[in-house]
Amino acid sequence: MESYYTADVTRTIPINGKFSPAQRSLYMLVLEAQKAGFEAVKPGVDWADVNRASQRVLAQGLADMGVLTISAEESMKAEFGLHRRWTLHGVSHMLGMDVHDCAQARKDQYVEGKLEVGMVLTVEPGLYIQADDELFAPEFRGIGIRIEDDVVVTETGCQILSNAVPRHPDDIEKWMASLIG
């Protein structure tokens, strides 16, 4: 059946089929941020709260790693946003007839709006460490992680529409092993 609706799903996979300890560590942090984003998706919630929920987890993870020179709480304040150096993009966008179905949306429906039952959106946190970023130990440099799934807002939260695609690193490694042989 043709629906003409789009999907926008991303997985970061290890090229050799196995995550290194550094890759797995960052991947698990991004996965926790995505879970926080999923939990934030509910009818009546401010659109920006999905982003804040995921960003808070990323900021705390970076603080726990000793990378932030300020606390995660301080970094979350608009005037600082130090953790944003490694996140680079927002955590969500509308999804529909266009992959980024938000260009024509009114601010009161999107950026400044509230989530409503039936809305479809992405939850896609990411961390990107430049190859020359000396704030990170060498084993983390050059790693980029994004985990993106599509969800629909339900009466009680959200339904993950892209659940069939492996998300946990153990499942991704099994999937890769089945492909590599």
Domains of the chain (ranges; CATH) run 21-180 (3.90.230.10)
Query: What local confidence, expressed as pLDDT, does residue 80 receive?
Result: 84
Query: What local confidence, expressed as pLDDT, does residue 5 receive?
Result: 66
- Please list the pLDDT of the chain residue by residue as tens digits (181 residues): 566 666 777 899 999 999 999 999 999 999 999 999 999 999 999 989 999 999 999 999 999 999 998 999 999 987 888 898 899 888 887 876 544 555 555 556 656 789 999 999 999 999 999 999 999 999 999 999 999 999 999 999 999 999 999 999 999 999 999 988 7
Determine the 3-state secondary structure of 14 from DSSP.
coil
Query: What local confidence, expressed as pLDDT, does residue 31 receive?
Result: 98
**Could you give the residue ranges of the DSSP H alpha helices within the chain?**
21-40, 47-64, 72-75, 169-180
User: And the tokens for 147?
Assistant: 């985990």
Query: What local confidence, expressed as pLDDT, does residue 97 receive?
Result: 55
Q: Which residue from 134, 170, 126 is spatially nearest to 29, judged by alpha carbons?
A: 126
Query: What local confidence, expressed as pLDDT, does residue 104 receive?
Result: 58
Query: What local confidence, expressed as pLDDT, does residue 163 receive?
Result: 92
Query: What local confidence, expressed as pLDDT, does residue 81 receive?
Result: 87
The Cα diameter of the chain in Å comes to 53
As a whole number of angstroms, the distance between CA 151 and CA 158 comes to 6
